[in-house]
């Protein structure tokens, strides 16, 4: 039998607030990712994981085949028109990446498309590839693309002359995926990232055909709790420099018609004031929480906040999440009771109409609407039993047509059932939960139950469709999505109630909703599993410390688990921008509170469930050493014989493998782990 690797212990002491913490595995941190001892340990863990999962090779291969078989070999997006051209992306058979194309809007040869970018060719020499964005000049002549070949979310921007097909020699390095052209066709605004912390912090102006060294600094953010981005308004008269922390924002505006524009402050930042801006028909439109946590919409013609006119007031039960401006209509995306909805409002008459839906749990969203000079709205819809669907609604007539529904081969929605429950947490708060399962395989109190959670950053985990998830449902799994506090499903207060000194609510909500689902018969107590990624991985780590006997198995994807040490180190990417989420443990109040739940610090000598922990060597969001250290400490202290697997993708980062099909390799590993546990075919003896 192959033994699991045991990491050596090298005590490293950290003293703060009168307390000394000893980290025996601090040595696993290597910022350069070159230390032979560290790499040897990661490889040893990978070898052990492969040995354990070898008995499930046929299952993994079968899962991968059935997931890929559901995906059409050839596929394409619904074209949209922008500035006289029709744009479309497509996949050819066998391709991992999209091909981006366009054609003149008034073409006489509708089947002929010009290739702008073949991502398969761009990715040919790299194990990883992500296209961060594409932007084309207003005169349609030059294309800028942001690409990441390492999975660190550090992009390089390159330029292509669309008339000749030749690429310009310059490359803008170490930038974010946020960039936009001015209106002159040769000036690009982009955001530079700090090489150490990876924080986007400076806005630069680049002139096409010159080197990056010749670029001009336009803005530098001095507060390292803020992130920087750039984008153009609907009117295309302004370029926005957006500055935001978790709870505060500020916007500066650049005249998009001038290549020497200086930033002008729209509304100065003040703590806990968030606002988002657009401009169209000589008016600024502002989504702001100044008069209510769930945001209102205002309109003004100047920069003075005193002149803001209320278009939609802030409401107690409805969150204003997004808006799109049309010539004759305003369309808003709102959230009520945890579910999203769309509403159209006539500028002329004030008449409004809501778009109605049938599923008990679903998500809808505003799609690409590049031109405001139309009455046609495109929006998306998905539920746990409905594949992603793109609709086009004529706002004037109410006529709706389906432009496309994602093809899922072999899928029959009548075989599946979705439900939405409200479960009472220990403090009396009602927490929504979305469920889906196969009708024919459901047996009261008998099914394996997988509970997924996140609960951070005010991000909403919506009940959408997953073609890969069918592989679990078809094997009898019930899938539950918990909308716990710390997320944004029920508005800003829901977020506030699960962050900073309220973070414990996130963990207890997950435990309480899971136990209630078992009590209601949605799963068997001895076949209960949990999954979460990134901050959801933090959730997994916290929950298994607090309720180690609740779950039979847990999958922690790229988990953020070493909260105290990371939040005390400003050199680690993204740390300073997280203070509004977790608190700064340099403050003793936050130090003591974080200590109560930080998974790595709370590992103790007790029995833990079967664990699969995943990470990527080049992860820029959660550094690989956090899950590696956590696995090493768990292996040293846990008192059970349950499996503990640490699987490190040596070529990828936070999002796992890139590619249309390759990206499912990580999913298949996770599913095979869970299915094998449920079928009781996986144990340490498999490593023989």
Annotated catalytic sites, by residue? 534, 619, 654
| Residue 504: alpha-carbon gap to chain centroid | 22
Are 378 and 402 contacting, i.e. CB atoms less than 8 angstroms apart?
Answer: no
| Residue 169: alpha-carbon gap to chain centroid | 33
Are 600 and 626 contacting, i.e. CB atoms less than 8 angstroms apart?
Answer: yes
Task: Return the closest-CA partner of residue 482 out of 431, 552, 448.
Answer: 431
- In 105-237, where do the E strands start and end? 114-118, 130-136, 142-148, 155-161, 172-181, 187-193, 200-207, 216-220, 227-232
Task: Return the closest-CA partner of residue 597 out of 481, 498, 685, 451.
Answer: 498
Q: Which residue has the tokens 């990417």?
A: 573
For residue 214, the surrounding DSSP H or E stretch is none
Q: What is the 3-state secondary structure (H, E, C) of 155-179?
A: EEEEEEECCCCCECCCCEEEEEEEE
φ and ψ at residue 320, rounded to 5 degrees: -85, 110
- Distance CA(554)–CA(552), nearest Å, equals 7
Q: What is the 3-state secondary structure (H, E, C) of 274-320?
A: CEEEEEECCEEEEEECCCCCCCEEEEECCCCHHHCEEEECCCCCEEE
Taken as a whole, the chain contains a residue count of: 688
- Distance CA(533)–CA(558), nearest Å, equals 6
Q: What is the 3-state secondary structure (H, E, C) of 404-439?
A: EECCCCCCCHHHEEEEEEEEECCCCCEEEEEEEEEH
């Amino acid at each position: 039998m192959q033994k699991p690797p045991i990491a050596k212990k090298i005590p490293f002491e950290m003293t703060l607030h009168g307390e000394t913490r000893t980290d025996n595995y601090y040595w696993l941190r290597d910022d350069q990712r070159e230390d032979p001892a560290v790499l040897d340990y990661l490889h040893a863990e990978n070898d052990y994981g492969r040995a354990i999962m070898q008995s499930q090779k046929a299952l993994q291969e079968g899962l991968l085949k059935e997931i890929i078989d559901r995906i059409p070999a050839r596929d394409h997006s619904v074209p949209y028109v922008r500035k006289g051209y029709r744009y479309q992306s497509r996949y050819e058979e066998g391709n991992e990446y999209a091909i981006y194309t366009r054609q003149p809007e008034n073409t006489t040869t509708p089947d002929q498309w010009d290739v702008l970018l073949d991502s398969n060719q761009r990715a040919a020499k790299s194990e990883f590839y992500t296209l961060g964005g594409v932007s084309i000049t207003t005169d349609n002549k030059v294309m800028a693309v942001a690409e990441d070949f390492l999975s660190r979310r550090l992009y390089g921007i390159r330029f292509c002359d669309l008339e000749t097909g030749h690429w310009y020699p310059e490359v803008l390095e170490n930038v974010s995926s946020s960039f936009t052209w001015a209106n002159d066709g040769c000036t690009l605004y982009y955001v530079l990232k700090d090489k150490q912390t990876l924080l986007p912090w400076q806005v630069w102006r680049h002139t096409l055909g010159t080197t990056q060294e010749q670029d001009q600094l336009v803005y530098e953010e001095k507060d390292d709790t803020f992130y920087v981005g750039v984008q153009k308004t609907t009117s295309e008269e302004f370029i926005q420099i957006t500055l935001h922390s978790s709870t505060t924002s500020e916007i500066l505006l650049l005249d998009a018609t001038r290549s020497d524009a200086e930033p002008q402050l729209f509304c100065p930042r003040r703590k806990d004031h968030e606002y988002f801006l657009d401009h169209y028909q000589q008016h600024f439109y502002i989504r702001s929480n100044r008069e209510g946590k769930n945001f209102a919409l205002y309109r003004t013609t100047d920069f003075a906040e005193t002149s803001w006119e209320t278009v939609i007031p802030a409401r107690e039960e409805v969150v204003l999440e997004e808006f799109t401006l049309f010539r004759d209509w305003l369309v808003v995306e709102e959230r009520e009771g945890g579910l999203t909805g769309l509403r159209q409002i006539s500028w002329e008459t004030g008449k409004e109409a809501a778009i109605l839906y049938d599923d008990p749990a679903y998500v809808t969203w505003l799609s690409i609407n590049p031109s405001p000079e139309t009455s046609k709205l495109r929006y998306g819809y998905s539920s746990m039993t409905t594949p992603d669907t793109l609709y086009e609604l004529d706002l004037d007539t109410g006529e709706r047509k389906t432009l496309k529904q994602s093809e899922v081969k072999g899928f029959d929605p009548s075989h599946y059932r979705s439900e939405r429950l409200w479960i009472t947490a220990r403090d009396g708060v009602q927490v929504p939960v979305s469920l889906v399962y196969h009708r024919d395989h459901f047996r009261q109190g008998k099914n394996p139950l997988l509970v997924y959670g996140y609960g951070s950053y005010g991000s909403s985990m919506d009940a959408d469709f997953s073609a890969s998830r069918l592989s679990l449902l078809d094997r009898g799994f019930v899938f539950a999505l918990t909308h716990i506090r710390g997320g944004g499903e029920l508005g800003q207060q829901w977020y506030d109630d699960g962050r900073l000194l309220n973070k414990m609510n996130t963990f207890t909500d997950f435990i309480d909703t899971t136990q209630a689902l078992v009590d209601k018969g949605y799963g068997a107590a001895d076949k209960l599993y949990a999954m979460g990624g990134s901050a959801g991985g933090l959730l997994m780590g916290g929950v298994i410390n607090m309720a180690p006997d609740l779950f039979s198995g847990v999958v922690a994807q790229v988990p953020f688990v070493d909260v105290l040490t990371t939040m005390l180190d400003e050199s680690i990417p993204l740390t300073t921008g997280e203070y509004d989420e977790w608190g700064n443990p340099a403050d003793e109040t936050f130090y003591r509170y974080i200590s109560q739940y930080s998974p790595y610090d709370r590992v103790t000598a007790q029995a833990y469930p079967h664990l699969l922990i995943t990470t990527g060597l080049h992860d820029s969001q959660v550094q690989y050493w956090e899950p590696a250290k956590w696995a090493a400490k768990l292996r040293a202290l846990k008192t059970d014989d349950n499996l503990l697997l640490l699987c490190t993708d040596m070529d990828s980062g936070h999002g796992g493998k890139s590619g249309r099909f390759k990206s499912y390799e990580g999913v298949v590993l996770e599913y095979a782990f869970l299915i094998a546990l449920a079928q009781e075919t996986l144990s340490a003896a498999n490593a023989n």
